[in-house]
């Protein structure tokens, strides 16, 4: 079904009726109800995708209510609008080419800032939806072609953005040479088309692999949102820097930056103080342990625990902060909060689910940290220090 036709159906009485059914009963039940009505099934699938997208791209959908979601996979692989707008603001240049357009969220973010954007997509279905979605953006040129073909046109731009497909024969790979398009093969043409290149990589990519492959020719940026690392960006040219950026639930930004050569340096270990700190996901991924220790005056509880401590409160530490209430040997039952506990295990024989099951601990907000402190297995009970209390 063509995007324009699909949108008309969504806005019809039938579309509103199916929207209510999907919201109340879910997609599977609704599709079964309309097993012999292809039109109704297409409407149901789109409403399901719209509901899924509402939490990931709320600002985009608010600004562009006609926006349609091509496929579930394109939604899953797309940036959130929070991160897309952040990247657009941080990226200099007035002309950008996205060689893997996909659902077009990153293109939308750059175009919203008035930039000229080339949306390049080899999948005809995705490109068709992009033409519909960008109908109100004359500064977006939608091109149904592949990256190599576009590069051969000799078109130049200020920035090239690529989000390579990491699925190789239905399996995920985190190596650049396995992705599609193969960025390493395209590199000579990429560097001619633009001086600035930004690659969006898997959150699971090995940073040491990137550092070894590109040395100090690149910058690495790690973005986390909603307590998860969402994107790792590889930026050229660079100065061998690594930057971790976290967005909290109020979309407030917290940053940490250092040299790539400092990654995974081991900071000093010390006895537990009155406060403990768990770095945000982007900072955890960055491996900038020594940088955190020096900058914020904290020490690790144990080698490789990546949980820090201090006697005095460090209110601007880039992570969750907990006020220590008590410590005890593992298995001390009076340390367990009967109302429930949030469990973290670091350098400890049991995993958090196993410890929870063994001691029948309910989910809760009080922290139970099971770890190793100065060679001794220890339980730590602590209360979260909320941002409102700082």
Q: Based on the domain organization, do 127 and 27 belong to the same domain? A: no
Please indicate, yes or no, if residue 62 is contained in any of the structural domains: no
Stretch 237-254: mean pLDDT: 90
Residue 187: pLDDT over 70: yes
Examine the fold and report which residue of 214, 231, 260 is the final residue of a domain before the chain moves on: 260
Range of weakest confidence among 15-19, 167-171, 265-269 = 167-171
Per-residue model confidence as pLDDT tens digits over 278-323? 999 999 999 999 999 999 999 999 888 899 999 999 999 999 999 9
β-strand 299-300 against 275-279: which pairing, if any?
Answer: unpaired
Strand order in the sheet with 376-384: 299-300, 308-310, 275-279, 319-328, 376-384, 366-373, 341-345
Residue 326: pLDDT over 80: yes
Please indicate, yes or no, if residue 290 is contained in any of the structural domains: yes
Residue 168: pLDDT over 60: no
Task: List the one residue out of 69, 62, 66, 73 whose CA is nearest residue 7.
Answer: 66
Structure tokens at 180: 């599609």
Q: Based on the domain organization, do 250 and 287 belong to the same domain? A: no
| Structural domain for 353, as ranges | 275-389
The total number of structural domains that make up the chain: 3
Please indicate, yes or no, if residue 61 is contained in any of the structural domains: no
Q: Based on the domain organization, do 135 and 254 belong to the same domain? A: yes
Examine the fold and report which residue of 232, 260, 288 is the final residue of a domain before the chain moves on: 260
Residue 11: pLDDT over 90: yes
Q: Based on the domain organization, do 203 and 315 belong to the same domain? A: no
Q: Based on the domain organization, do 230 and 294 belong to the same domain? A: no
Higher pLDDT, 374 or 159: 159
- Note the pTM of the prediction, 2 decimals: 0.91
Structure tokens at 173: 């790979």
Q: Based on the domain organization, do 312 and 232 belong to the same domain? A: no
Task: List the one residue out of 381, 387, 346, 375 whose CA is nearest residue 361.
Answer: 381
Please indicate, yes or no, if residue 66 is contained in any of the structural domains: no
Per-residue model confidence as pLDDT tens digits over 204-239? 999 988 888 887 789 999 999 988 999 999 999 999
Structure tokens at 300: 């690790």
pLDDT band at 252 (very low <50, low <70, confident <90, very high): confident
| CB-based contact 197:191 (threshold 8 Å) | yes
Radius of gyration over every alpha carbon of the chain, rounded to an integer in angstroms: 24
Please indicate, yes or no, if residue 208 is contained in any of the structural domains: yes
Cis link prior to 318 (omega < 30° from 0)? no
Q: Based on the domain organization, do 286 and 250 belong to the same domain? A: no
Residue 67 φ/ψ region, left for φ over 0, alpha for ψ in the -120 to 50 degree band, beta for the rest: beta
Q: Based on the domain organization, do 290 and 343 belong to the same domain? A: yes
Higher pLDDT, 332 or 214: 332
């Amino acid at each position: 079904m063509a995007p324009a036709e699909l949108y008309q159906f969504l806005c019809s009485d039938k579309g509103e009726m199916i929207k209510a059914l999907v919201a109340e009963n879910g997609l599977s039940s609704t599709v079964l109800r309309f097993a012999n009505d292809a039109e109704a099934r297409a409407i149901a699938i789109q409403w399901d995708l719209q509901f899924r997208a509402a939490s990931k791209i709320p600002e985009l959908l608010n600004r562009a209510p006609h926006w349609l979601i091509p496929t579930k996979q394109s939604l899953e692989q797309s940036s959130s609008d929070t991160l897309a707008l952040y990247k657009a603001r941080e990226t200099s240049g007035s002309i950008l080419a996205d060689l893997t357009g996909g659902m077009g969220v990153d293109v939308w973010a750059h175009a919203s800032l008035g930039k000229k954007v080339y949306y390049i997509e080899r999948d005809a279905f995705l490109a068709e939806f992009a033409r519909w979605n960008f109908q109100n953006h004359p500064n977006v040129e939608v091109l149904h072609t592949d990256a190599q073909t576009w590069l051969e046109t000799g078109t130049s731009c200020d920035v090239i953005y690529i989000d390579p497909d990491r699925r190789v024969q239905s399996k995920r790979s985190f190596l650049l040479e396995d992705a599609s398009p193969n960025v390493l093969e395209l590199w000579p043409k990429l560097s001619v088309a633009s001086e600035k290149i930004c690659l969006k990589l898997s959150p699971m990519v090995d940073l040491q692999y990137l550092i070894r492959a590109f040395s100090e020719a690149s910058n690495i940026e790690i973005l986390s949102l909603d307590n998860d690392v969402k994107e790792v960006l590889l930026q050229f040219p660079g100065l061998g820097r690594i930057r971790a950026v976290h967005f909290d639930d109020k979309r407030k930004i917290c940053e940490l930056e250092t040299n790539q050569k400092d990654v995974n340096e081991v900071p000093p270990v010390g006895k537990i103080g009155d406060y403990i700190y768990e770095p945000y996901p982007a900072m955890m991924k960055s491996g900038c342990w020594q940088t955190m220790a020096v900058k914020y005056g904290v020490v690790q509880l144990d080698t490789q625990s990546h949980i820090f401590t201090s006697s005095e409160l460090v209110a601007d530490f880039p992570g969750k902060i907990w006020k220590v209430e008590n410590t005890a040997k593992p298995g001390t039952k009076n340390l367990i909060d009967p109302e429930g506990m949030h469990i973290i295990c670091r350098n400890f024989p049991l995993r958090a689910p196993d410890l929870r099951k063994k001691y029948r601990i309910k989910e809760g907000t009080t922290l139970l940290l099971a770890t190793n402190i100065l060679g001794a297995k220890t339980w730590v009970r602590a209360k979260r220090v909320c941002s409102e209390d700082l």
